[in-house]
Structure formats: structure tokens, C-alpha cells
Amino acid sequence: MDDIPPYPPIDPTTFDLIVIGTGLPESIIAAASSTASKSVLHLDPNPFYGSHFSSLPLADLPSFLSSHSTSPSPPRSPSSDDPNEFSLLEFATRPLYSSTDISTFSPNLLDQHSRKFNLDVAGPRVFFCADKSIELLLRTGTNQYMEFKSVDATFVGDNKGNLWSVPDSRAAIFKDKSLGLVEKNKLMRFFKLVQGHLAGEQDIKICEEDLQSPFVDFLNKMGLPPKIKSFILYAIAMADYDQEDTGVCRDLLKTKDGIDQLALYNASIGRFQNASGAFLYPIYGQGELSQAFCRRAAVKGCLYVLRMPVTALLVDKDTGCYKGVRLASGQDIFSQKLILDPTFKVTLPSGSSPPLPLKEKLPFFSLKDDKGKIARGICITKTSLKPDISNFLVVYPPRSLFPEQVTSIRLLQIASNLAVCLPGMFVLYISALCNDDDQGKKLIHAVMNTLLTVPLDSESNAAVQSETAENGSAVQDETSESSSGGPSDSGEEKPTLLWSALYSQELTLGQVDFICSTPMPDGKLNYNDLIDTTFKIFQEIYPGEEFFPETSLENPEGDGDASPET
């Protein structure tokens, strides 16, 4: 117990809701509950906000990943003054990251300026200008705590290093030199059909049979060539898996969902005057989103305590019902409801049989296991992948880098004008869904080898080169063409890698049972699915309360005031 710091006592000791962890879902729930006049205690064992949704200094990221790669025992707390009143179910942490590989090629430069980096743990991630997260920020007034800049462009990449501009509007289609006249006409007719359907025009409405069919079948029916199909499926509709291979596709996109995604993309372009593209990125990194909702919650009376580990769950011995939590300080705090960060799991009693009321409740305390993995990579360079553009998204469709690639790979380049790195440097976030760590690293290495020069004096470079030899260098993609229409000049040098972090993250789902657990960051590019899950959890714990009622806004702001950049 000597390693337990002298935590100050918390007063009061009883709340409507205790939330453990300051990740995005927990922070939104804390803000919504506080807005609904609930008394909320928000705890986090970390000294920073955001948890798995945070943006961390360069030196802190490796230690954070390492601390969540094993299952250490929680800090032991002093025994209760009344040990017979409650049963204690100890918390343990579950490993959520694996196969972490940190490589440094410019240690002196980076070590001196570590605190000038804000690296997203769950990147790449962006906001669509018209998606649910932006609407939630505007409706709650939380946008006043954040500033954004536009992501300037979207590209589709191939195994030759070309980055092809995505023609996502009529103007872009006309300007695109890589598209032939026939391709432009077919794409224009397709966009016209989609816009007419969304506008409710009866004469060009898409029939219900087509809406329920696979989106890729509908695109084939429209006679779109492979290159255009690839753009629409993976760079606009953001499909994760190879839509033309039902044997490996775990999420076959229906036409209705594909059209909805096109509508979101189209509504996002030009929504804000100073945002040229469909996407926004927050200044100082994605961790600002969790902090913004925490600030919103604090304004509404939520009590925050960081650096506060929680060691055990308090359960009534007579009824088996949840009563509260025990802190590392030994203090017991009570509440009616509990929300858990996905880091934590409840260890069930072993040895002697628990009392019958508790035994009946035990299945509810056993949190669900993970539901897959996502490979993530972070790279730092001194030059942009595109000399004339700083902030942009790149999508590598399935099979575009090597034949065994069955998922999309996404890359987001962010520059120093978003306050995430030193001036003149760039941060690349890469991600891909995967079955295991080896497959994940193969996917990330394929992108790194295609776009970057990795210095020779590193073991990681050997791994990258090994993956390259295995993947082969003569893989052809349906979107590959001569460089005459592509944006890359074969004479340009690849950016040199200065630092990289590769790791696999578990994908866990939110759970709503006797106690609630929030999800880990998912594999999507935006936050829509996470916000939907968060909303469901809030509805479950407070079914009679409105999720951020309109009347909760002290200073309502319309789109005109909610600029993505100030």
C-alpha cells in the first residue's frame, strides 16, 4: 500500500451515476446525464482525458499502449470498515492492444520536442461535415470548446504509389483528367439518379428491389466500370470489405445504405464556407472531442477526479445488487448506476461458492469478449505525400496492394497547421480491419512500403521489406493506370520515415446489462456508430430522459456560427 498516493476523500459519497473512464462514449453519457439533472461522478485512473480516444504526446503513447497490453492486478485498497455489508468483486484490466512496435529513426529531434506532438490513439478518424457527431456538437453547444480545419482532398491509392483524386462532385468530374469521356458520362448519370432519388423525384426513383440488393450489384447494373465502382464503394461509401467477394465480405453493403452514405458525403461537401471538402479534423487532435464533452458535463455539475484508480465493485450481499465502487484510496462511493470503460472487467469470486443472490446475478457481471481486431499505424515524416496538399485522406480498396488484401486500408495525413506536430512535419494515421496481429502488420507495412522510405538501420525496416517480398511488387489493381492521368510523379522521392508506431487494437462492443460497458474505438472513419451505441446505453440507464434536450442549450448556435475553423 506504500505505492498508493494520498488521494483526497470525495464528498459527497452518493451519486446517481458513476462513470469510470473519460473516453468519448463515457464523456457523452456523463454530459447527457448531467444535463438531465443527474448527479454524476466521473473518474479516470489516467492523468489525462480521453482514454482510448485520447491524443497523446509522442513520449506518452508507447507507455499507454504498453500499460493496456497486459492484465496487471489493480492497486490494492485498504479493507472496508464494515467487511460484512458488501461482497467485493475486484476489477481487473483486460489487454486491449497487442503486437506493439515502436521505431525511432531521428531520436534526438523527436525526444527534444515530444510534447509538441498530439497523436491520436484511435486514428485515422475524421468528421463528415454533416454527420451525427457534428450535429451533436451543434445541438449541445459543445462546438464552442473545439476548433476544426478542413481535410482538403480524398484520394484512392494503388500499389505503384499513385494517388488518384476522387471525383466526388460534378465540378470534380469535369476537372478529372484521369477519367475518359465515357466514364465521366456514366458517373454523371449515376450521380443524377442518386440525387433525383434523394429529392423524391418519382420518375427517377430507385425501386425497392434495387434498394435491398447489394450495392455492388446495383453499380454493375448501372454499367459503371471497375475504377468508378472502386471509388464509390470504398472512397465515398466507405465499405470495409471486398464487396465483390461474398466469401470474405463480413459486411455486404446494401444499395439503400450505400445511397445513404453518398447522401451524407454529398451533404458534407460545401456545408461550411471555410471547409472545401467533405471532412473536418479538430485542431489539437481527436482527443479534444472527449474533453469538450467533459467540459460540457462539468458546466452541468459533473464532478471530475483524474488519477483515481477504482479497485472493486460493491455488491449487496443480501440482494446481489450493485451498490457502488471502492477506490484505490479505500473510500467507498455509492451510486444507482455505473458506466465502465472497456478497459475494465469484473473478476468473479473463485473458491468458495458465493451467496445465492449474488450467484444469480453473476452472469450479468461477466462482460463480453472482444469482437475482432483493427491494425493501426502512426508515422511521422518531414515531407508531405503530396507536395501541394497538407491534410488529406487516402483509401486503398481491397486487392489494391496485394491479392490477399480483403479489407480497405485508410490513411489520413495531418500537418502541423492542426497543431499535432512540429512545423514542417506530418503525421500519417493508417488503419485496417484484420483477423490477427500478423495480418494486420502485413496490411500496414504494405502501405508504408508503397509510400515511404524506411531508413536501413532498423529492425522494423527488415520487417517492412519482408512483407514487401511476400506481397510481391507486380500486383496489378483495377484502378492502376499509366501515370499520365495520376497525381504522382514517378520522379518524386518518397518521404523518409522519422518515427512509427504499429499496434493491433481489440474491437469490443458496448454492453447493457446489470452494469454497462462502453465500446472501444471501432474501425469506421467517423463516430456515427459509436454515437448510436452511446445513445442506446443512455436510453437503457435513463429510459425516461431525453438525450440532450433542445432546451438544455444556453447559447444555441446555428450552422452559420458553427464554423469548422475560427
Beta-carbon contacts of 407 under 8 Å, excluding residues fewer than 6 positions away, are 240, 241, 242, 398, 432, 433, 434, 443
Rg over alpha carbons for the chain, rounded to the nearest Å, is 25
The Cα-based distances of 311 to 44, 325, 329, 332 in angstroms read 12, 8, 9, 10
According to DSSP, the β-strands at 97-104 and 344-346 are: unpaired
Distance CA 389, CA 413 (A): 9
| 373-381 and 426-434 beta bridge pairing | antiparallel
The residue whose grid cell reads 444555441 is 556
Interior CA angle at 58 toward 457 and 447, to 5°?
A: 55
CATH of the domain at 202: 1.10.405.10
DSSP output for 344-378: EEEPPP-SSPPPHHHHHHHHHHS------EEEEEE
d(CA 8, CA 171): 61
Cα–Cα dist 219/180, whole Å: 18
For 269-370, strand residue ranges (E) read 279-282, 303-306, 310-316, 322-327, 332-340, 344-346
**How far apart are alpha carbons 323 and 358 in whole angstroms?**
12
Q: What residues contact residue 189 under an 8 Å CB cut-off, 6+ apart? A: 222
pTM of the model as a whole? 0.89
Question: What are the backbone angles phi and psi of residue 447, rounded to the nearest 5°?
Answer: -70, -45
Instruction: Identify the sign of the CA torsion 473, 474, 475, 479.
Output: positive
Say how far residue 113 (Cα) sits from the centre of its chain.
26
Contact 157, 487 (CB under 8 A): no
Q: How many CB atoms lie within 10 A of CB 74?
A: 19
Domain tally, the chain: 1
The one-digit pLDDT tens for each residue of the chain (566 residues) are 445 567 789 999 999 999 999 999 999 999 999 999 999 999 999 999 999 999 999 999 999 999 998 765 555 544 444 456 788 888 888 899 999 999 999 888 778 889 999 999 999 999 999 999 999 999 999 999 999 999 999 999 999 999 999 987 777 787 777 788 888 888 888 988 998 998 888 778 889 999 999 999 999 999 998 999 999 999 999 999 999 988 888 889 999 999 999 999 999 998 998 888 899 999 999 999 999 999 999 999 999 999 999 999 999 888 888 999 999 999 999 999 999 999 988 876 665 555 555 555 555 555 555 578 999 999 999 999 999 899 999 999 999 999 999 999 999 999 999 999 999 999 999 999 999 999 999 999 999 999 999 987 644 455 555 554 555 443 333 333 333 344 454 457 899 999 999 999 999 887 766 688 999 999 999 999 999 999 999 999 999 899 998 754 454 444 434 454 43
Residue 182 lies in a domain: yes
Cis ω for the linkage preceding 521 (within 30 of 0) = no
CB 283 within 8 Å of CB 149: yes
CA dihedral over 157, 158, 162, 168, signed as positive or negative: negative
Is 9 in contact with 329 (CB distance < 8 Å)? yes
> Would you state the torsion angle of the CA atoms of residues 298, 291, 142, 411, taken in this order, to the nearest 10 degrees?
-170
The answer to whether residue 519 is domain-embedded is no
pLDDT at 556: 40
88 domain residue, yes or no:
no
**Are 441 and 502 contacting, i.e. CB atoms less than 8 angstroms apart?**
yes
Q: Are 401 and 451 in contact (CB under 8 A)?
A: no
Closest CA to 169 of 141, 144, 194, 137: 194
pLDDT of 4 reads 54
First to last CA, the chain: 49
CB 421 within 8 A of CB 384: no
Q: Which residues of 504-518 are buried (b: 16+ CB within 10 A; e: fewer)?
A: bbbbbbbbeebbbbb
pLDDT at residue number 267: 92
Q: At what angle do helices 459-471 and 437-451 cross, to 10 degrees?
A: 90
* 229 belongs to a structural domain: yes
The count of other CB atoms within 10 Å of the CB of residue 91 is 22
In a domain, 239, yes or no: yes
pLDDT of residue 561: 43
Domain that holds residue 208: 169-268
Inter-residue contact 279 to 166 (CB < 8 Å): no
> Whose CA is closest to 72, among 309, 306, 329, 369?
309
Query: What is the β-pairing status of strands 497-506 and 373-381?
Result: antiparallel
Q: Look at residue 453 and tell me if it is in a domain.
A: no
